[in-house]
Amino acid sequence: MTDNANPFSSLAHWWMLAVALMAVPAAIAQEKQPASDRSPFTDKPQVPTGTARDFVRDIAADQKQIWVSPLQMSRQSAKWWLVFGAATGTLLATDRRSAHQLPNTPDQLSVSRHVSQLGAVYSLVPIAGGLYLGGALTGNQKLRATGYLGAEALVDCLIVSEVLKTATGRQRPLQGDEGGHFFHRGNGFPSGHTIESFALASVIAHRYHEKKAVALLAYGLAATIGVSRFTSREHFASDVLAGGAMGWFIGRYVSERHRERDNLPAKVGLTSEANPPVRLAERRNGSLAVWQR
């Protein structure tokens, strides 16, 4: 499934990774930490402590909420999940046909596989780490927190995708009779590269929602990776769509959970309504208390 014979493939991958490492942090870090990085209700900067114990504790809390969220979602969230579910179901019914619509030439498969490796964990972790390190070195707490939350979302998605891959056992496009059968000891559903890419993009876009160019860049990279997983015939279209949707929601949840923990008001609009957990907020003694159930 991979091409290690061509020495250029490794060089091309690291060149593309270097571009991503420079582009995303550079687009974000063009400003110093604004006053809005501090909560209007407390004087606490919007940044996690970053200890290993806190990181593990945050992952555990995320996993608990992620797996019970279908039982707790709001009506608005349910509507969006129904939309994604219907779209995924439609693609599942046409996966075998759509996988053969492209030319599927050796050059197409090779280029797509190289591009898609930008969505591998070993490519995305350095991006999150670069954000964290850049924020720590420059004193930009928002940038540092974004790197921390990005890494948190990546680990969350890695756990979720591996559990779902094992549970569904779906074959990849080039396995078996190329029918994409479930429960055949495969690991195709969902696309791991796509869920990871969209999770990191979602964290960055939600943290820097006021910077449209940052969101476009982050989601553009994630979408390119998702498409390349399909054009490389590593995944069916439904694997990619499901991975992208889950990654977006997980990244959005991680971002908003941190915002709520620091008593920051959630961003209004589509993304605040689509959060998997149900939130109840009330003011007590002049401060904002946020409760999750």
Q: What is the pLDDT of residue 136?
A: 93
Q: What is the pLDDT of residue 10?
A: 53
Classified as helix, coil or strand, 260 is helix
DSSP state of 209: T
Instruction: Please determine, for residue 288, whether its predicted confidence score (pLDDT) is greater than 80.
Output: no
Kindly list the distances between the CA atom of residue 10 and the CA atoms of 13, 103, 125, 218, in Å, as whole numbers in the listed order.
Answer: 5, 24, 18, 23
- What is the average pLDDT score of the chain? 80
**What secondary structure does DSSP assign to 2-60, as a single string?**
---S-HHHHHHHHHHHHHHHHHHHHHHTTSPPPGGGB-SS-S-BS-----HHHHHHHHH
Instruction: Please determine, for residue 102, whether its predicted confidence score (pLDDT) is greater than 80.
Output: yes
- Helix (H) or strand (E) run with residue 279 in it: strand 279-284
Q: What is the pLDDT of residue 203?
A: 97
* 3-state SS track over 223-240: HHHHHHHHHCCCCCHHHH
286: region left, alpha or beta (phi > 0 left; psi from -120 to 50 alpha): left
Cα separation, 75 vs 274, in Å, equals 9
Domain edges within the chain: 50-292
Q: What does the pLDDT average to over 62-67?
A: 93
pTM of the model: 0.77
Instruction: Please determine, for residue 8, whether its predicted confidence score (pLDDT) is greater than 50.
Output: no
Q: What is the pLDDT of residues 224-271, one digit of tens each?
A: 999 999 999 999 999 999 999 999 999 999 999 887 665 444 443 333
